[in-house]
Chains A and B, each alone.
Chain A
Amino acid sequence: MKQKEFLNTVMPFKDKVFRLAKRLLVSRDEAEDATQELYLKLWTNKSKLSDYKNVEAFAMTMTKNYCLDQLKSKRANNLTLVHSNYKDNNTPLHREIEIKDSVSRVHEFIEKLPEKQKLIIQLRDVENYDYDEIGKILDLQPTAVRVALSRARKTIREQLIKQHNYGIS
């Protein structure tokens, strides 16, 4: 596979890889490192890429596994993720403040979800994959994906409503 051909196949989903990594690793820096690492892996294995029917799903699976490994080794080293280094350089400041209150709450709720539900919410509600694709990426049955997704959506909504009723916002 030539460099140009490689880039044409893998570049379209680089943002999705990055966002998935960020969802799992929380910090932007770590997500960037993970994305670069992942593309290096894809490049070194580029001869095998043509064997896969769905390169994107394969890359997303690789991303998921890589990030979970990173988290595992981090926990083993007794290093907790620091949330303070989470910074979003992309949205302009005024927009950031405007959406921060409401949006970051949703962000927190998603963060508290179990890893599987977190992954499914990211893949479905942010990246809009269909159930079959999510099943392929996470190696799950589509029905299992639905069940976990429904559970995650209900949890998030319940927490949002709870906060509204208490008047905390």
Chain B
Amino acid sequence: MELANINELLVKYENAETTLQEEQMLKKYFQQDTVPAHLIEYKELFNYFDDSSKEHFTKPIPIKPRSANWKWLSIAASVVLLISLYTIKSSDSIMSASERQEAQLAYQETQKAFQLISQNLNKGNTVAMNGLQEFEKAQNKIFTKNK
């Protein structure tokens, strides 16, 4: 590019009237090795801008993708807990008709069985008592003799 053009652009640049394209042209111009002596300080300036724009951020970006999920997890857990509590409680009180009948039957059968056992035990009781009376008779005989 011609020097006169550059000079003109530099004046515009200082008045902040240059467009971005014109500024790019200036940057490009001052990247060449030799520039006129009176423009040397602009070379420093534009090279500095160019170098500064090449700096990069190298550290990792910290974001926590799972932080939001914990909230939903706890909500899901509490819902499961409530449902399970409700079903356990309701299954306690509600019993189907056939189940109730069966339970009643089992109860009657058990009572019958207990009745049978107790009757037999009572039978045994009277036999044992008779046996004991027999012992007492013998005992009495011995004790009266000794006196």
A interface residues (Cβ-Cβ under 8 A, vs B): 3, 6-7, 11, 14-15, 17-19, 22, 32, 35-36, 39-40, 43, 88-91, 99, 102-103, 105-107, 125-128, 130, 145-147, 149-150, 153-154, 156-157, 160-161, 164
Contact = CB atoms under 8 A, between A and B. Distances in A.
Contact of B48 (A15, A103, A164): A103
A131 B136 CA distance: 128
Given A14-B61, A40-B62, A90 B56 contact: yes
A88 B54 CA distance: 11
A14 B54 CA distance: 12
Given A150-B16, A153-B13, A39 B61 contact: yes
Given A90-B56, A126-B52, A103 B63 contact: no
Interface string B79-110: 00000000000000000000000000000000
Contacts, number: 89
B55 A19 contact: yes
Interface stretch (B37-45, B70-78, B125-133, B139-147): B37-45
Contact of B52 (A19, A43, A102): A19
Contacts of A35: 57, 59
Chain A contact residues: helix, strand, loop or mixed: helix
Given A15-B55, A127-B53, A105 B65 contact: no
A169 B16 CA distance: 27
A39 B44 contact: no
B4 interface: no
B47 A103 contact: yes
